[in-house]
Amino acid sequence: MDLTHVTLIVMAGLMVLLASGLWIGYALMLTGAISIAIFTHAPVGQVVANTIWGNSADWTMTALPMFIWMGEILFRTRASDGIFNGLAPWLSKFPGRLMHTATVGCTLLGSVSGSSTATAATISKIVLPELSRRGYPEKPVIGMLAASGTLGILLPPSIIMIVYAVAAEVSILRLFMAGVVPGLLLASLFSGYAMIWSLLNPSKVPAENRQTTLREKLQASRGLMPIVALLVGVFAGMFSGIATATEIGALGVVGALMIAAFSGSLTWKSFWESAAGAMRLSCMIGLLVAGAMVFSTFMAYTGIPRELAEWISAAHLSPYVLVGTLTLIYLALGTVLEGVSMILLTTSITLPIVVAAGIDPIWFGIFIVIMTELAALTPPVGFNLSVMQVMTGRSSAYVTRAAMPFVFIMVFSVAVLTIFPEIVLWLPGVAMAK
């Protein structure tokens, strides 16, 4: 039986298991194990056991629960309550005024939380009531919050980046560095949209008549200092090279606990809830990774990724055509899968193809992270849309329409990064040159 027929049979079996409602991790693991038994001569039990153990014991994976726990601590305590009051005096003079607190707040919190949904939920809880009380239009604010929340997985540290780094066997720290400039670019585009929207609709943006002195601005910023200090600590450890990703994550947890303690919101209840939340999410991702690695092992045994890569290489496709095709595929997948599952389902197939086309795996990591950001904004699975529904009580259709301009902005950013890949690769290159 040729590889084309094997691929079609295996993918059809996987789709059946996924459609049955079986957990994605188990579906991947079962499909991989059965396929190894049927289509190869390898001892299936030994291969599956060695694969699961080898990847579970990977030291790189220990960074995952650390960054998840850091985000959980910040999410479940009042550590981020001072963000709005700290940002408002500095942003009130820009076109769009306090609408920018959504993007800037998500940028700050996303840089230390590592989670899209946690970032969106936390900043929405702070920003939405304040902007509503001051008379700001709801729809563009909802869109900005839903989209800006996705910065939590593009700006380091990022849970999604760790998953991709493990699956693709690339450096976590290089991938973290690669996400900084694209993340700031995307945040700037979101704020740029708010400025243009406010200039086109000046009557819908409330005036901010109160003048604040520099001293008042600095006093208001005291609530920001703990988050900024944690952010600086994480970035200093990352860019200095004095600590591994796991060590930075552990230090981040200590820093988050100290911030929560100083804010008076660290209790035994919040501590155990954050630890339990981190454990649940880490176990879920661990199961997904284990299943994906068994499936990837089968793919490696059969040589399917290699054959696909050779076919792409022989077809001499332009990298632009390849990226455009993958963008459409990932947009379609994002309507039915969440980010981690999407990465683990596809990396073993797509990575050899893009490498054969001359695309850097670090650049592709940032591309696939942005695709998972888009998945968070595309119904029916879009998690950030669900968060905004809960926070506002609005319908799915209303929230989706509010987020749609930002979907186009993110697709535009993919085009920019494709034409100018140095935007992604410049910072990791500078760090490696030192």
What residue spans define the domains of the chain?
Answer: 3-433
Mean pLDDT across 407-430: 92
Q: What is the pLDDT of residue 433?
A: 58
Stronger pLDDT, 118 or 259, i.e. the higher one: 259
Render the burial of 227-265: b for 16+ CB within 10 Å, e for the rest: beebbebbbebbbeeebbbbebbbbbbebbbbbbeebee
Statement: residue 98 has pLDDT above 70: yes
Kindly report, residue by residue over 318-377, the tens digit of the pLDDT.
Answer: 888 889 888 888 888 777 677 777 887 788 788 888 888 888 999 999 999 999 888 888
Is residue 197 very low, low, confident or very high in pLDDT (cuts 50, 70, 90)? very high
Kindly report, residue by residue over 220-253, the tens digit of the pLDDT.
Answer: 777 778 888 888 887 787 777 777 778 888 888 8
- Residue holding tokens 């001499």? 316
Kindly report, residue by residue over 109-133, the tens digit of the pLDDT.
Answer: 887 777 777 788 778 888 888 888 8
Highest mean pLDDT among 285-294, 309-318, 354-363: 354-363
Residue 123: closest CA among 138, 136, 113: 113
Q: What is the pLDDT of residue 312?
A: 67
- Whole-angstrom distance, CA of residue 146 vs CA of residue 105: 12
Beta-carbon contacts of 182 under 8 Å, excluding residues fewer than 6 positions away, are 154, 366, 370, 413, 417, 423, 424
Is residue 431 very low, low, confident or very high in pLDDT (cuts 50, 70, 90)? low
Mean pLDDT across 20-33: 85
- What does the chain come to in residues? 434
Statement: residue 305 has pLDDT above 70: no
Average pLDDT, the chain: 83
Burial class, 212, CB count within 10 angstroms (exposed 0-12 / middle 13-18 / buried 19+): middle
Highest mean pLDDT among 261-265, 276-280, 407-411: 407-411
Q: What is the pLDDT of residue 245?
A: 76
Is residue 405 very low, low, confident or very high in pLDDT (cuts 50, 70, 90)? very high
Residue 71: closest CA among 126, 36, 27, 119: 119
Q: What is the pLDDT of residue 52?
A: 82
Q: What is the pLDDT of residue 144?
A: 92
Of the chain, the percentage scoring pLDDT greater than 90 comes to 17
Distances in whole angstroms, Cα of residue 117 to Cα of each of 177, 190, 272, 368? 22, 18, 20, 17
Kindly report, residue by residue over 205-224, the tens digit of the pLDDT.
Answer: 887 766 777 787 778 777 77
Instruction: Name residue 324's amino acid.
Output: G
For residue 284, what are its two tokens? Answer: 């879920």
Is residue 142 very low, low, confident or very high in pLDDT (cuts 50, 70, 90)? very high
Q: What is the pLDDT of residue 190?
A: 94
Statement: residue 434 has pLDDT above 60: no
Q: What is the pTM of this model?
A: 0.80
Of the chain, the percentage scoring pLDDT greater than 70 comes to 92
Highest mean pLDDT among 64-78, 181-195, 347-361: 181-195
